[in-house]
Amino acid sequence: MNQDEIKALFDQQASSYDAQWAKTLPIRNCLHLLLDAAFAELPEEAQVLCVGVGTGAELSHLARNNPTWKFTAVEPSNAMLDICRKQAETEGFAGRCQFHEGYLESLPGAQIFDAATCLLVSQFILDRQARSDFFHEIARRLKPGGLLASSDLASDVASPEYEVLLRAWMNMMAQADITPEGMARMRKAYANDVGVLPPSRVAAIIEAGGFEPPVQFFQAGLIHAWLSKRTASSAVHGSRRRYERL
């Protein structure tokens, strides 16, 4: 699928997205718990960039726990961002948010952020240079030393380990009421439409984007998450490719 097709898919799935993945909440909750720890030393009035925010799960979590932080939420899917915005209004923190429908390179202004999140986004950029450019675009929006918490599906797809993890992952999807047809589409997508790479290679792509060597702080099945710090003197530039989220 190309980017327009992926965007259309998530526009279509937006209304049922959170309900569809409700049974996998323990994974997300654990990741958010560790995200709190990773961001614990941010300033009291931190400015946080949420890239590919989707329906806003990490935004809601961070906003509830940090009532003086401000957020910029970036999401190309109008339907997903609309749910995110309405959730922020319902929970009473919309006034601390800026919502940008589009891609990161089209975000106006030159605001510099203390930290950024990018959860299950970069895996949809199949070209590795473009994927590195994507992280460059995040890095140039962060202050030197600013933090990035990112996650992606990752594994060495040529290894026996991948087959073990993939089988367990698909069993989990079955328990989450994903239909056999949906799982077949998902397995095909992992092979053709998702850049599932070995964790070390994903970390190298992040580092090439203007960050110090990333530290993996979470794994659940195929999901890996890294904490990265923007280098103090990296020469960063804009991304040349767009992105989507899972």
Q: pLDDT band at residue 240, thresholds of 50, 70 and 90?
A: very low
pLDDT score recorded for residue 6? 63
Residues 6+ apart with CB under 8 A from 177: 20, 23
pTM over 0.75: yes
Q: Is the pLDDT of residue 131 over 90?
A: yes
Q: Is the pLDDT of residue 235 over 60?
A: no
Cβ atoms of 10 and 55 closer than 8 Å: no
Q: pLDDT band at residue 111, thresholds of 50, 70 and 90?
A: very high
Cβ atoms of 148 and 230 closer than 8 Å: yes
CA distances from residue 228 to 60, 138, 148, 153, 217 in whole angstroms, order as listed: 22, 11, 5, 17, 10
Average pLDDT, the chain: 88
Residue that is written with structure tokens 């409700």 in the block: 22
